[in-house]
Structure 1
Amino acid sequence: MSKRIVVGTDGSVSAAAAVEWAVDDATRKKVPLHIVSVVERWPYSIARYPAPPDAGDTLVHAAERILADAAARALRHRPEATVTTEMIEGYPAAVLRDQEKDAAQIVVGSRGLGGFAGAMLGSVSGHVAGQAHCPVVVVRPDAEATHGEIVVGVDDSAECEPALAYAFEQALLRGATLRALHAWLSPRHGYVPGIPYDMDDVRRAQHQLLAQRLATLGGKYPRVTVIEDVQCAHPVDALTQASKRADLVVVGSHGRGTVGALLLGSVSRALLHHSSCPVAVVRS
Structure 2
Amino acid sequence: MKVLLAVDGSVHALHACKYLTAFPLPHPLQVEILTVVNPPEVVLSAQSELWYPQFIEHQEEIARQATTASQRAIQGMDAEVTTHQMMGHIGHCIVERARDEKFDLVVVAAKGHSAFERVLLGSVSDYVSTHATCSVLVVRQEVPEGDKPVDQSLPPRLRRGMIAVDERGVSDAMMGQLCRFAWTKELQLTTVTASVKLEVFREDILATTMEEGARRRAEARRCADAAAARLNTCGANASGASIEVEHVGYGLVQYADEIKSDLVVVGDSGRGLISRMLLGSTSRYVLHHVHCSVLVVRKGRESAT
TM-score strictly above 0.5:
yes
One-letter code aligned to 2:37: V
Deviation of 1:117 (Å): 11
Matched, 1:264 2:279: yes
Query: Offset at 1:133?
Result: 1.8
Q: Give a deviation string over 1:47-101, Cα, whole Å, max 9, x none.
A: 67847232221211211111111111211xx254432111111211111112144
Q: 1:38 to 1:266 in 2, by over 3 A?
A: same
Deviation at 1:250, TM superposition (A): 0.5
Match of 2:248 among 226, 231, 235: 235
In structure 2, the CA distance between the partners of 1:250 and 1:68, relative to structure 1 (3 Å rule), is same
Q: What root-mean-square deviation, in Å, do the aligned CA atoms of Structure 1 and Structure 2 show?
A: 3.2
Residue 215 (structure 2) aligned to one of 198, 204, 209: 204
Equivalent residue letter for 1:227: S
Q: Which runs of 5+ in 1 are unaligned?
A: none
Equivalent position of 2:265 in the other structure: 250
The structure 1 residue matched to 2:166, chosen from 155, 174, 177, is 155
Aligned partners of 1:22, 1:247: CA distance in 2, in Å? 13
Q: What percent identity do the matched residue pairs reach?
A: 24
- Counterpart position of 2:191: 180
Deviations 1:192-232 (A, max 9, x none): 23447332442233322442465377257334333221111
Which of 9, 20, 28 matches 1:11? 9
Per-residue Cα deviation, 1:254-280 (whole angstroms, up to 9, x for no partner): 688957973322222222222121101
Structure 2 SS opposite 1:96: helix
Aligned-partner Cα distance in 2 for 1:133–1:21: 22
Q: Kindly tell me: are residues 102 and 275 of structure 1, through their superposed partners in 2, closer, same or farther at Cα, counting changes over 3 Å?
A: same
Query: Which SS does the other structure have where 1:246 is aligned?
Result: coil
Is residue 273 from structure 1 mapped to residue 292 from structure 2 by the alignment?
A: no
In 2, Cα distance between the equivalents of 1:89 and 1:117? 32
2:267 matched to 1:226? no
Q: Verify the 8 A CA contact 1:26 1:32 in the aligned structure 2.
A: no
**Letter paired with 1:202:** G
Question: Aligned runs of 1:82-121 on 2, under 5 Å?
Answer: 82-98=80-96, 99-100=98-99, 101-111=101-111, 119-120=117-118, 121=121
Say if 1:26 and 1:66 are closer, same or farther in 2 by CA, change over 3 A. Answer: farther
Q: 1:243 to 1:165 in 2, by over 3 A?
A: farther
The answer to whether the 8 A contact 2:104-2:134 is kept is yes
Query: How far apart are 1:238 and its partner, in Å?
Result: 2.6
Distance 2:77 2:108 in 1: 21
Count of matched residue pairs = 275
Instruction: State whether residues 15 and 141 of structure 2, in contact with CA within 8 Å, keep that contact through their aligned partners in structure 1.
Output: yes
* Secondary structure at the counterpart of residue 83 of structure 2: strand
In structure 2, relative to structure 1, the CA distance for the partners of 1:118 and 1:230 (3 Å cut) is: closer
Matched letter for residue 267 of structure 2: G
CA distance in 1, matches of 2:9, 2:129: 20
Distance 1:27 1:219 in 2: 18
Give a deviation string over 1:2-48, Cα, whole Å, max 9, x none: x4111100111211111122233376544021110001112x42467
Q: 1:173–1:133: structure 2 CA closer, same or farther, 3 Å change rule?
A: farther
Measured at CA, do residues 237 and 157 of structure 1 come closer, stay the same or move farther in structure 2, by a change above 3 Å? Answer: same
* Matches of 1:170 and 1:149, distance apart in 2: 15
Counterpart of 2:281, as a letter, is S
Per mean C-alpha deviation after superposition, the further-off stretch among 90-99 and 175-184 is 175-184
Amino acid at match of 2:8: D
Cα distance in 1 between the residues matched to 2:231 and 2:7: 35
Q: 2:164, 2:252 within 8 Å by CA — same for their partners in 1?
A: yes
Stretch moving more, 231-240 or 3-12: 231-240
Number of the residue aligned with 1:215:
226
